[in-house]
Amino acid sequence: MSLDDAFANFEIDEPEQKVNKWCLPEEYQASIHDDGWFFKDGAEKFTSDPRELDYFRAMYYLRNRDYPAAFEAIQEWRKNCHHKGFFLVQVIDSLLRVALKDPDTSKELIDALFTEFQSIVTIPGDQLQLWDSEMKICLRFSTSSQRFLQCSILLVTVSPFLPDLWLNFTKWREAIGPNLHACALTRAILLTKYQLEQGMGQGFAKKKLECDIIKWSTQLELLPEEQRQRAAEEMALSRDRQFLAKQEEADHSAKAPAHDCRNKSAVFFTDQMCVEAVESFSQRYSWMLMGCVL
């Protein structure tokens, strides 16, 4: 056999490529999804993955504040999807959050969900969710004002830019010292003003930030003037080395190339690191935490 015969003159048969057939305008039929379409018989044909229906149902119940039904739908979603790893964390977190919204959920069930959640958290982002959930559990059942404050401190230590995290300190009035409320409100106002200065809010989002400042300022005005002035000094952003360091880090990340990872500073806290973070925060904000038990 010659080379020409063996290699067929180097003519290579290529497999036929599948050609996408585009739908013509006159052939298009819209899928009209009425409110609650995912409850109807035959809804499976309107989604590429029937398991999504459990998710849609859960979100529907949650939007309508039917928390028991939402909890059951998420349970069904979990059973049908056989979640592992990251997805399992999200499902357990969703179950825990819905359970916390339902005033009739027992402490035993919430504790069991939290224990399961705690056992599978392995990355920094999920650890933030864990602290947030633990803080809400302490708040709901008034179990430990000390742990409530510790979780609140850990959250603002990792994410000092978020006003809502500072406002967590004001949610358990009986557990906080005389200065904590004024300091938390002051820092939330300063951070929101900073966001507006940086152009972070546009349109209705900007209006929301402006309304928040007015609301928190009104609450702050109810406190003694001397306390307000001291809080303004203590919580000034220009004096906060941690905030300035985080700001520089954020500015650097924003300028990083697209291929560069922007989560290099994210750290999973060990128990010892949590203790050290709380101690460092309490030293830096000693006047703010005066009278608080940590």
Q: What is the mean pLDDT of residues 274-291?
A: 94
pTM for the full predicted model: 0.79
Sorted by sequence, the CB contacts under 8 Å of residue 12 that are 6+ apart come out as none
Helical spans, DSSP H, in the chain: 3-7, 52-63, 67-81, 85-101, 107-120, 124-141, 145-158, 163-167, 180-197, 204-221, 225-234, 241-254, 271-284
Q: Do residues 169 and 290 share a domain?
A: yes
**Which domain does 220 fall in, by range?**
163-237+281-294
How far apart CA 260 and CA 252 sit, in angstroms, is: 11
Q: Are residues 179 and 292 in the same domain?
A: yes
- Closest of 166, 126, 164, 128 to residue 149, by C-alpha: 166
**Residue 29 covered by a domain:** no
Q: Give tens-digit pLDDT for 211-224.
A: 999 999 999 999 99
Q: Which residues contact 177 (CB under 8 A, 6 or more apart)?
A: 288, 289, 290, 291, 292
Q: 127 near 90, Cβ under 8 Å? A: no
Mean of all residue pLDDT scores within the chain: 84
Band of the pLDDT at 28, cuts 50, 70, 90? Answer: confident
How many independent structural domains does the chain possess?
Answer: 2
| Average pLDDT of the residues in 9-24 | 62
Residue 16's contacts (CB-CB under 8 Å, 6 or more residues apart) are none
Same structural domain for residues 291 and 167? yes
Residues 183, 229: Cα–Cα separation, whole Å: 10
Return d(Cα 162, Cα 165) in angstroms, integer: 6
Q: What is the pLDDT of residue 262?
A: 43
State yes or no: pLDDT of 204 exceeds 50: yes
Same domain? 111 vs 202 = no
Structure tokens that stand for 261 in this block? 């990872």
Cα–Cα distance, 154 to 161 (Å, whole number)? 13
Residue 86 has pLDDT above 90, yes or no: no
- CA–CA gap between residue 29 and residue 11 (Å, rounded): 44
Report the alpha-carbon distance of residue 260 to residue 208 in Å, rounded: 33
Q: Is residue 85 part of a domain?
A: yes
Q: Quick one: 139 and 51 in the same domain? A: yes
